[in-house]
Amino acid sequence: MRSSAVDKGLRTGVVFGIVIVTMFLIGFTVTGAGLVGKIFGVQSSYSTPPLVFFSIFMILVGAWAGVTASPRPLLEADTWNRALLAGGSSGAVSGLFSAIIGFLFGELNSNRIDPRTYLPSVSPESIKMFLFDQTPFIGSLLMFALMTGSGLAAAALSFYLRNNGAVRSSLRKASESVWDSIRSERVSNIIQNKYTRYASLLAFAAILIILPRTWGGYWNYVFGTVGIYIILGLGLNIITGWAGQLVIGYVAFFAVGAYTFALLTAPEPHHLMMNFWVALGLGVLAAAISGLLIGLPILNLRGDYLAIVTLGFAEIIRILLKSDLMTPYTAGPRGIRDIAGPTILGKSFISDVDFMYLIIIAVLVVTFLANRLQNSRTGKAWYAINLDETVARATGINAFASKLLALSLSAAVAGLAGVLFASRNQFTGPDDHALMVSINVICLVIVGGIGNIPGIFLGAFALKGLPEILRETENYRLLIFGVLLIVMMRLRPEGFLPAKRPELEKASVQNPLGKEA
């Protein structure tokens, strides 16, 4: 029995060991230490972060290894011995891996061999930090001891928390009392009170009004981008999340919106100089029409043709915009400059705060639209097509027309995002419309929760907001995207916030959709 605990510890240790070695080789140990430093309020973007943060980072990794290896109460016997053996062996094995890699690179470094020729992220500083500023031998011993110790400590701590009656019962009591108070009539009366709802809406509105004014240009820019991606996500969700038709080249409609708007308002190359609002409408319309035209020949086919055709369409648009052929009409690879900003009664509003407001309003409008559509007759028809197109047809749904509608609405929303994007930057060029935009949008929809509006908000914040906040991780963004997608597919294939179906049978007749009166 005891050997099985060690066995599990060894296996977990190997996995964590490989993770640590990989992190070291791609330079993530430095980034991780920097992130820890950031939590403590120490910025160290361009220098190696202090050793103490690196130690904390490694202790956290070791603790994670220890907790992962420790027994699961319902499946395995949970005793002190087993917990310590598993946690300790896990920490020790991962420590061994770290020690070996540290010692090897330490020796290389002291023999003046620079590994950066092959591994550009392994700088002498990072090696020095990995060895705690000691000689390779002592450093790797320290590393081994640190990992083993943190694995043991974490396993012991988690065992204690699992099995100590006092801690457990007090935790349970606390959570129960919180739940009870949430469920109690008084609280639910307060929550469901009309005025409380107005007050919370008011508070929410106040935050949305005050925040852009106070937090400065940088955050307005970051959250403006997040907002634009929320709009894109909500749009893609219509055709991909609800109607179930994968669109890979979603950026094409974004580009059509942005370029239509740009060409209509910029002084060059056409000098049309149209009013912002008229051009906005035309940009959205142009995107919707392009969606309609793309959909017409292919949407009565089934399967992934739409994905492939839109992928091709997106690339064609980007390459056309770059080509010499189109240069007289679209300004070619240089892009279009001096795109108009919004004006109201001749007064122009182009500060970052104004744009943030504009984007917030657009997000609210699109959310409202999506929310209304979601459970409507049309929305149900989309979802029926998504789940079983053959049967949907036999229940009287014109699948072709429904899909076409979904695609053009989706394209129109992308067009709106494109207009906002071009107008905010006052510039748009072919490189703004690379395929990466589509992939980002697909990722955020999948990670957030496909088909679910709050999920898309979460996805946009996680995938576009967090990387800006955690600037240190910039280089690893694609890696993290990939890992995140794989992990999501394994653990929560329906996304962080999966879509839920409304309870219509129970809902009262007066208020059929459960909407606010």
Q: Which residues bind other proteins (CB under 8 A)?
A: 369, 372-373, 376-381, 383-384, 387-388, 390-399, 405, 409, 501-507, 509, 512-513
* Strand partners of residue 344: 347
Residue closer to other proteins, measured from CB, 255 or 381: 381
Q: Number of C-alpha atoms within 13 angstroms, CB side, residue 173?
A: 6
- Least distance to other proteins, CB of residue 369, Å: 6
- Residue 488: count other Cβ atoms within 10 Å of its Cβ: 18
Cα separations in angstroms, 352 against 221, 266, 349, 358, 459:
7, 19, 9, 10, 24
The C-alpha atoms of residue 372 and residue 513 are separated, in whole angstroms, by 10
Task: With CA atoms as reference, report the closest residue to 432 among 501, 502, 508, 335.
Answer: 335
Nearer Cβ to other proteins (163/371): 371
Q: Residue 279: enclosing H or E segment and its boundaries?
A: helix 276-298
Nearer to other proteins among residue 73 and residue 514 (C-beta)? 514
- Amino acid, single-letter form, for residue 226: V
For residues 127 and 499, which CB has a smaller minimum distance to other proteins in the complex?
Answer: 499
Nearest-approach distance from CB 516 to other proteins, in angstroms? 11
Please state, in angstroms and rounded to a whole number, the distance separating the CA atoms of residues 282 and 107.
65
In angstroms, give the least distance from the CB of 383 to other proteins: 6
**Contact, 354 vs 294, CB < 8 A?**
no
Coil, helix or strand for 303? coil
Least CB distance to other proteins at residue 419 (A)? 19
**Rounded to the nearest whole angstrom, what is the least distance from the CB of residue 394 to other proteins in the complex?**
5
Report the nearest approach of other proteins to the CB of residue 372 (Å). Answer: 5
Nearest distance from C-beta of residue 66 to other proteins, angstroms: 39
Tokens standing for 46? Answer: 């361009």
Please say which residue, 20 or 409, places its beta carbon nearer to other proteins.
409
Q: Tell me the two tokens of residue 412.
A: 């129109």
The tokens of 452 are what?
Answer: 């679910």
- Minimum distance from residue 502 beta carbon to other proteins (Å): 8
What angle separates helix 435-448 from helix 453-460, to the nearest 10 degrees? 120
Count helices and strands in the chain by DSSP H and E runs: 22, 4
Residue 177, burial from CB neighbour count under 10 angstroms (0-12, 13-18, 19+): exposed
Token code pair at residue 445? 């929809």
Distance of closest approach, residue 396 Cβ to other proteins, in angstroms: 3
- Rounded CA-CA distance 83/152 in Å is 8
Burial 417-436 (b: 16+ CB within 10 A, else e): bbbbbbbbbbbbbbebbebe
CA dist 234 and 453 (Å) reads 7
Q: Looking at beta carbons only, is 471 or 515 nearer to other proteins? A: 515
C-alpha–C-alpha distance, residues 261 and 419, integer Å: 6
Which lies closer to other proteins via its Cβ, residue 73 or residue 512? Answer: 512
**Residue 114 vs 388, nearer CB to other proteins:** 388
With respect to other proteins, which residue has the nearer C-beta, 117 or 395? 395
Give the nearest distance from C-beta 392 to other proteins in angstroms. 7
Q: Which is nearer to other proteins, 132 or 383 (CB)?
A: 383
Task: Indicate the burial class of 385 (C-beta count within 10 angstroms; 0-12, 13-18, 19 or more).
Answer: buried
Give the max Cα distance, the chain.
81
Min. distance of Cβ 386 from other proteins in angstroms? 8
Residue placing its CB nearer to other proteins in the complex, 56 or 450? 450
